[in-house]
Amino acid sequence: MKRPRVRTQIATLAAAGLVGAGLTVFAAGADAATTTHEAESATVTAGVVESNHAGFTGTGFVNTDNAVGSSVQWSPQAAAGTATLRFRFANGTAVNRPMRITVNGTEVSPALTFPGTGAWTTWQDATVTATLKAGANTIVAASTTATGGPNLDSLTVIDRATGGGTPVAVNGQLRVCGVKLCNQYGRPIQLRGMSTHGLQWYPNCVNNASLDALAGDWQADHLRLSMYIQEGGYETNPRQFTDRMHALIEQVSARGMYVIVDWHQLTPGDPHYNLERARTFFAEIAQRHGSKPNILYDVANEPNGTPWSRIKTYHEAIIPTIRAADPDAVILLGTHGWGSLGVSDGGSEADVINNPVNATNIMYTFHFYAGSHGTEYLNTLSRAADRIPVFVTEFGTQTASGDGANNFTRSQQYLDLMAQKKISWTNWNYSDDSRSGAVFNSGTCPGGPFAGTSRLKPAGVWIRDHLKSPADAFPTA
């Protein structure tokens, strides 16, 4: 329970000999330390240290007062760079108790959500991404409402500045378990990332500076490399586009992100039209990169005007080509109706559920554009994700043309559903195309800047915020 009290207390762990110290653990196969700092060893303003609710770590937790500004301040040592801040908390009320998070005096979240956890003995995590300096840092969580903050148990700092903290270093080789995407520990995860625009049109938007920003400032887990087949793409110069894909896979991999290799067929809508091209391309890609743990194959972007039964035979023809060189990777299978699980072609997810592809370690793709695709599509995604493995390999906050007004309200409904069901998602698109769905203002590429928000359109600001917060919280046990 909360009670008013205005005072500053320095709580310690002197009895345990851990005053001002953090508990440091190292994830298997990782180079970066994950350091946990107990709240009871921090500086507490308008609150007390208690131990009357079970489930906390250390010797207790901090009960902040019911007042604006009640706070906990930590002073962790860190390496310079981007880190994930994970706050362990309990909130036995049904009301969100938001807190303002600042790092070295800079606001990183004006009101980080600390929702009700169901009981004061039920502990959860709230995460946010921040940039830390080398040496001592000052991290403050301060209540923003008169109800005060939650009970705070600890702050964990996860350093993503080095390879040990990247999505690939943490999660390793992915696989499908049940209807979920799982990491190397067999735990369900959600990946959140971006898609390029067509590599034939916007190659200058995918360079070292933009990839550094995507991995660091944007905190993306993956990049989908969209290689159109027609429309001036692969079929015009297979060697050039295959070599471009090789180079980009290496560049993205070097930054610890997952890569979705997107065979971006669109017109004709029957993927069989490009089957032999696909076999040639994927055989070479899998042969060269099949030993990497971060490759996913998106083998048919948006089949359309073609029944699921025929699309299924294409998938069953191309999967063995990849498996011959890469037996472990997750393969993403395009669905009918422009990747809508059939809705846009008058079908439904039942077409796939009742006639699944005969293969393992596969996921079915779903595409939506919030300005065009409302409740029917949202409900389809929700139902399908309970029956088959689904990966949203493309979505936009605008209309299906990739242009027009943003519908952030509908987009948030989709993101909330995908977070709840751990459905991975990819936003279209990381370029400076003139349409509203491209995140950068025209003229940004190739020089940038790509970090921060100065060159972003409204959709870019929105999606960058949703990549960064809540921060990744990948389970490792």
pLDDT at 23: 37
Question: For 8-163, which CATH superfamily applies?
Answer: Galactose-binding domain-like (2.60.120.260)
| Residues labelled catalytic | 302, 394
pLDDT at 148: 96
pLDDT at 159: 67
pLDDT at 301: 98
Query: How far apart are alpha carbons 214 and 365 in whole angstroms?
Result: 23
Residue 100, token pair as written in the block? 């303002």
Topology of the domain covering 170-468: TIM Barrel (3.20.20)
Q: How far is CA 309 from CA 315, 338, 342, in A?
A: 10, 15, 11
- Residue spans of the domains in the chain: they are 8-163, 170-468
Please answer whether residues 105 and 138 qualify as being in contact, where contact means their C-beta atoms are separated by less than 8 angstroms.
yes
pLDDT at 124: 82
Dihedral pair phi/psi, residue 281, rounded to 5° = -65, -55
pLDDT at 160: 55
Could you report the per-residue pLDDT of 401-451, keeping only the tens digit for each?
999 999 999 999 999 999 999 999 999 999 999 999 999 999 999 999 999
Tell me how crowded residue 8 is: count the other CB atoms within 10 A of its CB: 11
pLDDT at 11: 31
Secondary structure tally for the chain: helices H, strands E: 10, 25
Low-confidence ranges of the chain (pLDDT < 70): 1-33, 129, 159-164
Please answer whether residues 366 and 338 qualify as being in contact, where contact means their C-beta atoms are separated by less than 8 angstroms.
no
Strand partners for 321: none
Please answer whether residues 214 and 413 qualify as being in contact, where contact means their C-beta atoms are separated by less than 8 angstroms.
no
pLDDT at 254: 85
Hey, is 432 helix, strand or coil? coil
Query: How far apart are alpha carbons 382 and 371 in whole angstroms?
Result: 18
Quote the distance between the C-alpha of residue 280 and its chain's center: 31
Query: How far apart are alpha carbons 71 and 140 in whole angstroms?
Result: 7
Dihedral pair phi/psi, residue 162, rounded to 5° = -110, 170
Query: How far apart are alpha carbons 443 and 201 in whole angstroms?
Result: 14
pLDDT at 472: 85
